[in-house]
Amino acid sequence: MREFSAILISEDAMASHTALAILNSNISVINYLRNSEVGDDELHPDAFASYCVDYYYNTVKNEGLASFIHKTQWDSDIVDIVHAGLTAMAALEHLAYFEKQMRQMKLFSKIKLAKFLASPHTPKDAISQALEDIGFQTITEDLVQLNATWLKEHPDTQIVAIAEMQEILTDFLTEEE
């Protein structure tokens, strides 16, 4: 099986000195590869973990935990990837919150969880209300910054011009398995 071996960040994103630009550069690469029918298991695992952590963070911040659970169907692979990403980033407050939610989800019966995941998500339903707590809003660490710093300092990160990035991606997509 082939695996994309680099975390690519554009020179422009790095030069901007903003965490969001660095994350967006990684997200663009991951989206490009996924849209080119590269499987999630072929992506650089830490680049994909960063991508998943960003998705988790933005979904919970903007829509609530129940929405993240519903959108991901609480898929064990996604849960494990987010957990591993938070751990690798040393996002201790976010990790503690996420682990608390993992324990909470284990308390749900399979029938209750399946019913929740199968029904349309509404923030006002009883299960959604039960899943929400104020713990996320009390977290003080900046997950966007921790995520970006982790990517910048990762040994597999390559800072490249957009043209070089496109060349690397094209070479990967055209190579034989």
Whether 50 maps to a domain, the answer reads yes
Does residue 131 sit within a domain?
Answer: yes
Q: Which residue has the higher pLDDT, 146 or 124?
A: 146
Structure tokens at 162: 């957009």
Residue 21 lies in a domain: no
Distance CA 150, CA 18 (A): 13
Q: CB within 8 A of 114, min separation 6: which ones?
A: none
Query: What span, in angstroms and rounded, lies between the C-alpha atoms of 116 and 111?
Result: 9
State pLDDT tens for residues 17-36.
899 999 999 999 999 999 99
Element (H, E) at 145: helix 143-153
Helix (H) or strand (E) holding 153: helix 143-153
Q: How far is CA 46 from the centre of its chain?
A: 10
With respect to residue 12, please indicate whether it lies within any of the assigned structural domains.
Answer: no
pTM of the model: 0.93
Which has the closest alpha carbon to 18: 143, 148, 159? 148
Specify if 8 maps to a domain. no
Give the total number of structural domains in the chain.
1
Q: Does residue 46 form part of some domain?
A: yes
The single residue listed with the structure tokens 């990967």 is: 172
3-state DSSP of 71-139: HHCCCHHHHHHHHHHHHHCCCHHHHHHHHHHHHHHHHCCHHHHHHHHHCCCCCCCHHHHHHCCCCHHHC
Distance of CA 80 to the CA centre of its chain: 11
CA–CA gap between residue 143 and residue 96 (Å, rounded): 13
**Would you say residue 116 lies in a domain?**
yes
CA 6/CA 40 separation, integer angstroms: 14
Domain with 122, as residue range(s), is 41-158
Residue 96 lies in a domain: yes
H/E run at residue 7: strand 7-10
pLDDT in tens, 94-143: 999 999 999 989 988 888 888 888 988 887 777 788 777 788 999 999 99
For 142-166, what is the mean pLDDT?
97
Output the pLDDT for position 48: 98
